[in-house]
Amino acid sequence: MRYLILSDIHANWEALDAVLVRADSHYDRIVCCGDLVGYGADPDAVVRWVRENVNGIVRGNHDKACSGLEDLEWFNPVARLSALWTQAVIQPEHAEYLRSLAQGPERINGFQILHGSPPG
């Protein structure tokens, strides 16, 4: 089984598209280690694509913040503004999807995916 492992897409549709073109379908499954949103201009396009194509996923800190699950005080000013903008523009069903993602780590076929460092 060949995996395409994605992480930290940050709503950057153009970068995601470039990765997919480069990967040229030379994988069997796609997993994502979180941070679908934050910073980039296309949160809905990215979340929609992930919902349709990714087989395993965990929630990142930006997913948590942009869906209203995290206090933004500890974010730097740019990340905070981006999270607030994303909260204002993201479709409600996509924000709900982000809230529903597993915190991780998640076990997938003999390995684990997570966002950040493994728990001690």
* pLDDT tens-place string over residues 58-103: 999 999 999 999 999 999 999 999 999 999 999 999 999 999 999 9
What the chain holds in terms of domains, given with CATH numbers, is: 3-113 (3.60.21.10)
d(CA 40, CA 88): 14
pLDDT in tens, 38-68: 999 999 999 999 999 999 999 999 999 999 9
Burial (0-12, 13-18, 19+ Cβ within 10 Å), 84: middle
Q: Which two tokens stand for residue 39?
A: 């910073």
Task: Tell me the mean pLDDT in the region 21-29.
Answer: 97
pLDDT score for 118: 80
Tell me the CA distances in angstroms from 73 to 4, 23, 64, 76, 94, one per residue in order: 33, 37, 13, 8, 23
